[in-house]
Chain A
Amino acid sequence: MPFIPHTQEDVAAMLQSIGARSIEDLFDEIPADLKCGGLEAIPAGEPEMTVTRLMYERAAQDGFYLNFIGAGAYEHHIPAAVWQIVTRGEFYSAYTPYQAEASQGTLQLIYEYQTMMTRLTGLDVSNASLYDGASGLAEAVLMAVRAAKNGARRVLVPGSLHPRYRAVAQAVVKNQNIELVEIPFDPASGTTLLDALKSYEGQPSAALVIPQPNFFGALEAVDLLTDWAHANGMLAIAVVNPMSLALLKAPGQWGGQGADICVGDGQPLGVPMASGGPYFGFMTCKQVLARQMPGRIVGRTVDRDGKSGFVLTLQAREQHIRRAKATSNICSNQGLLVTAATIHMALLGAEGLKRVALASHANTKALIEKLCAIPGVTRAFKAPFFHEAVLRVGSESGEVLRALRAQGILGGYALGRDFPGMEDAILLCATETKTGSDLDRYAQQLERILSRRREAPPCAYKS
């Protein structure tokens, strides 16, 4: 029997000890009329060899593509050591470290992770992670509302934020009567319209969300935005790409006082794209907000002998203690992904991460230059960008991307789905994984596709 070690003799001896005639007897407290049938819709069990073959076939069906999509999930090289260590059974098959003395490996690793994240973001305290960047933002909004001295239940969210982040935050906070107000972006620069904030001056809001880089890859005026939030009695919530922080200013240094809460998706730090997960959300904040933070937190303490050791701490915030009054219902962290990120950051160090950031920036810049040399292709926004940018291709971008895909290239994300009026826009990203010839291949194919479309526009009657 798969994964069940019992021999017939074992079963007989165990039933005898229990005083039951059969395994069936063990279910005699379940009303007989509830017992279900044979689960016919589930296929019969298969041995590992057969399932292996099936999964190899399915993987082969999906294949490999030359990927230029970013939009919140980024293709970076992950050192081999990272996942070889992550999948060691001692990390992989351990539980939440509630029994601290039997979990010092996981606990120390999380403490190291927390330290790395505070250093990367320039803030004081980190938790042990949340589900992903988007749900992390939702938790940050709830946290800001709890902490708001003005009692406001409104949070300002720029239109340049990842639309999926806004959707998730909305889904989570709407049931608590928290209002997310959208601040429009400047169609020329692609960054938050500072003038649009003026109408919110003097009106109580709990926080301003500041993405850096924003969804379009553009760099926001984070110093001005942070200072504006503070001047108007709001917290500043930074939403950042952690890898970019090897190069870009840390949220703790934004403006005069620094952002108060920082969240983002940790995926660029050693986590494969894997169709969307599992990733992890990180959250750091200023010391004064530590007790408002959701999620697990590891602290250093001493054992009976005075020797340094690690435990889960501040558990009085959490659902298993506070129940209905907890800071969140969250009951897990993305432990394995935090393990990967910690090993990844240790391997790359500040210098390695900066090289990744610089190479990604340089590749995207080079790609933009090559593509903008094609007739009809232009940059959509003029603000400086990190490793993603928006191009207008003068033709419905979904169709252009489909033509690229037929050549094995995933050319980017079609913005028309989320931003009306941007039906010809593509958000694209070239990380350090791309070579000069990859960029050339993209440019050649795009040029060919666009020129063909100019010469023979698609028939209006064909879908």
Chain B
Amino acid sequence: MLIFEHSHAGRRAQAQAPQQAAAADDLPAEFLRQQAPGLPETSELDVVRHYTRLSQKNFSIDTQFYPLGSCTMKYNPRACNSLAMLPQFLSRHPLADADTGQGFLASMHDLQEMLKEVTGMAGVSLAPMAGAQGEFAGVAMIRAYHEARGDHERSEIIVPDAAHGTNPATATMCGYTVREIPTDRQGNVDLEALKAVVGPKTAGLMLTNPSTLGVFEKTIVAIQKIVHEAGGLTYYDGANLNAILGRVRPGDMGFDVIHMNLHKTFSTPHGGGGPGAGPVGVSERLKPFMPIPYVVEDKGFHRWAEEADCPQSIGRMSAFGGNMGVLMRAYIYARMLGREGMHRVADYAALNANYLAAELSKAGFELAFPERRASHEFIVTLKKLKDETGVSAMDFAKRLLDYGYHAPTTYFPLLVPECLLIEPTETESKQTLDGFVAAMKAVKQEAEADAELVKSAPHTLPAKRLDDVKAARELDLAWKPA
């Protein structure tokens, strides 16, 4: 039932609205609404009960193991939430003077410094509100850099075919043409293909490392050099930063710009789709172009750097500077981890991924890159199972839901047929992973014995398999009373 169907004419949550104020009879009628918007008429209890029940229809990290590859679904510590929501932080207006927010601004500055250290970059701006916006900022900086040097011929961004869809989409948004290059059989960027496409038109390369295939680019320094020698800049997509945190630094590898997904590596909540935070780190030569605002410190006083401080900035990503509450959560998390906690993230993320890969391999699952170390995630391909039983990766994923496990990522990366991309994260115990292996085995046996059971899954969730085709063909995007 929808909240609208709980509506009862004349009912209100009395305590939540202010007293009736005078009518706005000073405003001419042409500006006013004639008919009230059709919002629900409900009591506080109606609303609390409805949305509490809705929440119970979700899988979440707090209720299930969530090995969704490429998404880093690690535990979101509760203290990060409660401390970021202290009333002084929540009630501060974004345009209030810096004097009124030294506690907040010091936290943001500390976070910038920590992110600089952990990435090895020369500067960090917290402005981008998500990974995709961080990518946008990064590529826009690459463009601004070339333009500032009067180098207007560079019109292409090189993107490996294994990349997330945001990479090519971002390059397009920044006015670039995308040159896609293939991946070799070992899961590495094809160096010969890269050499063939770089040239005077190359503005830059966007590289995800470890790649979406779950392996470290062994030739990353060579890749870098090829692009730099052609006059292009290098972009490090930090989507998989969890795998290398405290172990290697993109700055040390010579990258010009990186974005980080704090909702992955720094454990801020995914919130059913957002908000995220996608800070960017840059090399010395890109510092003048960083998006504003970012925090500057002068003799212990913190304030936002704005247009006047950085005239070459690519500009603003949002009206007020970013997803501050998310950044606060990341900061609190980073303070609890500390310097010695950073590398432990990568250590145990790698341990869990390699253990899970080993156990699944022993259980008869085919790894896409069996000869490679898993980074923090790895790929299982179900192509053989599909050929033998007709059970697809999607069917398999849906059946796992019945066992109480969120499905791994399916059909991404696009290069591996019938794939499951599995990322356990460092916060799961061996016992949880063992339970997941048992469920994977059980589903595989079911697929072999009774394929229809798996193909028609899920069976125990609030909804059975949903019809995506009907949803797209007969658009129903807003409720209308029958």
Contacts and interface: CB of A to CB of B under 8 A. Distances in A.
A107 to B, nearest CB: 9
Contacts of A56: 86
Contact of A2 (B324, B325, B341, B398): B341
Interface stretch (A203-211, A354-362, A452-460): A354-362
A447 B397 CA distance: 68
Interface residues of A, number: 200
Nearest to A410: B96
B272 A30 contact: no
Interface residues of B, number: 196
A273 interface: yes
Given A36-B246, A171-B316, A359-B18, A303 B339 contact: no
25 contacts: A4-B344, A45-B335, A51-B335, A79-B44, A87-B85, A102-B58, A111-B2, A115-B2, A171-B140, A175-B175, A276-B320, A279-B320, A303-B463, A311-B468, A319-B166, A328-B169, A331-B165, A335-B275, A336-B271, A346-B3, A352-B16, A354-B36, A356-B17, A361-B21, A384-B28
B429 A88 contact: no
Contacts of B337: 2-3, 45
Interface stretch (A66-74, A181-189, A371-379): A66-74
B196 interface: no
A361 B355 CA distance: 61
B325 A164 contact: no
Contact of B42 (A11, A278, A325, A346): A346
Contacts of B398: 99, 101
Interface in A301-346: 301-305, 307, 309-311, 313-316, 318-326, 328-337, 339, 342-343, 345-346
Contacts of B41: 349-351
B231 interface: no
Q: Which of B23, B271, B339, B430 has the most CB of A within 10 A?
A: B271
A347 B13 contact: yes
A110 B470 CA distance: 18
B258 interface: no
Given A48-B79, A65-B96, A65-B100, A175 B316 contact: no
Interface in B7-25: 12-13, 15-24
Interface stretch (B61-69, B280-288, B383-391): B61-69
Contact of A43 (B50, B54, B338): B338
Contacts of A194: none
A147 interface: no
Interface string B425-468: 01111100000000000000000000000001010011111111
> 7 tightest CB-CB pairs across the interface, nearest first?
A45-B338, A89-B62, A276-B320, A171-B315, A58-B103, A276-B94, A352-B17
Given A10-B429, A41-B113, A73-B93, A104 B463 contact: yes
Nearest to B362: A17
A93 B463 contact: no
A219 B339 contact: no
Interface in A103-120: 103-106, 108-109, 111-112, 114-116, 118-120
Given A44-B339, A131-B133, A277-B275, A307 B464 contact: yes
B274 A249 contact: no
A382 to B, nearest CB: 12
Contacts of A96: 270, 272-274
Contacts of A115: 2, 4, 478-479
Contacts of A334: 271, 273-275
B104 A275 contact: yes
Contacts of B2: 108, 111-112, 115
A309 to B, nearest CB: 4
Interface string A156-200: 000000101101101110011100000000000000000000000
B147 to A, nearest CB: 10
A140 to B, nearest CB: 14
A348 B17 CA distance: 6
Nearest to B355: A14
Interface stretch (A21-29, A227-235, A389-397, A437-445): A21-29
A350 B336 contact: no
Contacts of A247: 24, 32-33
B173 A18 contact: no
Contacts of A219: 27, 31
B18 A356 contact: yes
B120 interface: yes
A164 B316 contact: yes
B298 interface: no
Nearest to A280: B275
B16 to A, nearest CB: 4
A277 B318 contact: yes
A348 B18 CA distance: 10
Residue of B322, B355, B465 most packed against chain A (CB within 10 A): B355
Contacts of B407: 99, 102
Interface string B124-146: 00000111110110001001000
B37 to A, nearest CB: 4
B358 interface: yes
Contact of A358 (B24, B88, B221, B319): B24
Given A14-B351, A324-B168, A101 B118 contact: no
Given A273-B94, A276-B324, A307 B463 contact: yes
B216 interface: yes
B215 interface: yes
A249 B169 CA distance: 36
A409 B116 CA distance: 36
B92 A274 contact: yes
A301 B246 CA distance: 46
Given A109-B51, A348-B17, A335 B273 contact: yes
Contacts of A125: 477-478
A431 B106 CA distance: 29
